[in-house]
A and B are shown apart, each in its own frame.
Chain A
């Protein structure tokens, strides 16, 4: 793997350490409810980070911590949201799956965000040409009708809608092979929508590959589906992985660490320390208070 700038690796490992910490906090009974970690998929939002602009909207989903941290350097606010502590991004109301900050918004209902993103893209096309709406969805979410209604509308109206598919081959417990007939590419083609699939886990290579496509989606509006063939390392939420233990999992970090051990060790230690500090500090905060409806 190509070497990464410290800044990129630091963000990747911040997300990795953050997610590991969440699972640990759950195991210790410190967290309530549920959460979905993006272990193994961190490089997707990190790759896209410099290709997206502040004026772009981002629609995230249930597996959205990496999306959020790639947009905002705010592990404190995110953890406070997940722990229901003061300083929470959404006062503890939304929790892990329902975040909103500026032009970043996540929802916990699969597929729901695509029509909304299309509406936002319509506004952007008219009032802020060049900006786009980016929606992250998983492979399983291609079972939802909302996805097709939105793709059709966005293609008809030539809306600047970037659909980032994190195709990790599984939805909760169901492998893609048991839930998707055909392919994402075929479905995009049916709507005359641009589609590009990537297997690469290398941030620099991903950026090189997708930068011109995203640029084109801005200057010649219309939906673009970017399909990342990626790998979910952890459970769907917590302690609910029914895949056979020991099955080979592809981890960008294992590969990177092997190629760049010294840089990895140094930056991972820093990320780990930061997350530990954040966790201790946030845990000590008073409960979040909500102004109410």
Chain B
């Protein structure tokens, strides 16, 4: 099953099982079913709780927060994650704040879905991954769709947190298959550890390096790992968390050997460097594993640039499998 279909089914199941769930967004009604078709079929089945909104990202997020405040649960689709900027006040200064600023905890079950990322030629304002702008806000959790994590479980978990969550969805993933249990390909296998999908060589052994990436980079990371293995004889491990923030891999005992004993830890992410998720993860690892890390954590971001539209220009700016491969080689041997 493709990731987009998994997400669509997750929303169907959620609306079916919980009559307090609403889905709101622009152009999400059938037969259109959303800009990326993730909401397809929802409005026909649940016309009362699947609401097409005007082009008003701030009010969509605010109204969703109002529903949550009144005891309902809300899932919002921001057509392109870039436009979450227009909902920033409602998310950061209302929904997240409300969880704690009134002294006693106010449950705020609210998910803001953000189709994100480039590689599709949508240009500078329709291709970004805005995680870094939402990091470290009290009462706000960040998640990202991955090809490993079943989205129904992820949605249930986010809503159960009782605080607003952003769900980043790399648009490229929608048409990629979900990995079933175990196998990634003929070389690599995966297993869940805590909420982290761990991808390793199917025949085991200690890795030479470990990558940490959000769901959207999984295919680029696995491709880099294949080349590093086949052309450079380097075995890698890959960690893919479902919840990006807060995220403390060094706090998961089973992950520590993959971080402390490996030759290099490299965190790769989309978006420009500077105050990023990857830098935050790296700072955490440096603090928690100081003295056991073999090298400073390496970081991979996209180039310090807007994301161009033309395919050849876009490719130069965005993180590619080759970018990750070079970072690992440089980190280990440079």
Query: A residues within 8 Å of B by Cβ?
Result: 57, 88-94, 98-100, 105, 107, 109, 112, 114-124, 126, 133, 145-146, 149-150, 152-153, 156-157, 290-293
Assembly CA distance A157 to B67 (angstroms): 14
B65, B70, B72, B103: the one contacting A94 at CB < 8 Å is B103
Contacts A100-B102, A115-B59 known; list 5 others, CB within 8 Å.
A90-B103, A105-B98, A115-B63, A115-B65, A122-B66
Name the CB-closest residue of B to A159: B63
Would you call B248 an interface residue if the criterion is a C-beta within 8 Å of the partner chain's C-beta atoms? no
Q: How far is the CA of A290 from the CA of B103 in the complex (A)?
A: 7
B interface secondary structure, majority: helix
Q: Which of B27-35, B89-97, B206-214, B255-263 contacts A (4 or more CB under 8 A)?
A: B89-97
Instruction: Evaluate whether A150 and B59 lie within 8 angstroms (CB atoms) in the complex, with A119-B64, A124-B70 already known.
Output: yes
**Chain B: interface residue count, which band?**
35 or more
Q: Which residues of A contact B123 (CB under 8 A)?
A: none
C-alpha gap A284/B64 in the complex (Å): 41
Structural contact, B70 and A112, CB atoms closer than 8 A: no
| Contacting pair A89 B103 (CB below 8 A) | yes
Residues of the A chain whose Cβ atoms lie less than 8 Å from the Cβ of B67: 119-120, 122-123
Across the interface, do A116 and B102 meet the contact criterion of CB distance under 8 Å? Answer: no
A149 touching B71 in the complex, CB below 8 Å, given contacts A91-B103, A116-B65, A119-B62: no
**Can you name the residue of chain A whose Cβ is closest to the Cβ of B138?**
A293
Chain B contacts of A93 at CB under 8 A? 100-103
Q: Given A92-B103, A93-B102, A93-B103, decide whether A120 and B138 contact each other with a Cβ distance below 8 A.
A: no
- On chain B, the residues within 8 Å of A133 by CB distance are 66
Nearest CB on B from A197, distance (A): 25
- Mark contacts of B39-77 with chain A using CB atoms, 8 A cut-off: 1 yes-contact digit, 0 otherwise: 000000000100101101011111111111111101000
- Selected from A98, A114, A116, A146, the residue in CB contact (under 8 A) with B101 is A98
In angstroms, Cα B86 to Cα A145, docked, is 10
> In the complex, which residues of chain B have a beta carbon less than 8 angstroms from the beta carbon of A123?
66-67, 70-72
Q: Is residue B104 contacting chain A, with contact meaning CB distance below 8 A?
A: yes
Ranked nearest first, the 8 interchain pairs of A and B with the lowest CB-CB distance are: A119-B66, A115-B62, A91-B103, A149-B59, A119-B63, A90-B103, A100-B102, A123-B70
How many Å from the CB of A25 to the closest CB on chain B? 21
Give the distance to chain B from A191, nearest Cβ to Cβ, in Å: 11
- 25 of the cross-chain contacts (CB-CB < 8 Å) are A90-B104, A92-B103, A93-B102, A105-B102, A107-B93, A112-B89, A115-B90, A116-B62, A116-B63, A116-B65, A116-B94, A118-B59, A118-B62, A118-B66, A119-B63, A119-B65, A123-B70, A123-B71, A126-B48, A145-B58, A157-B51, A290-B103, A291-B103, A291-B104, A293-B99
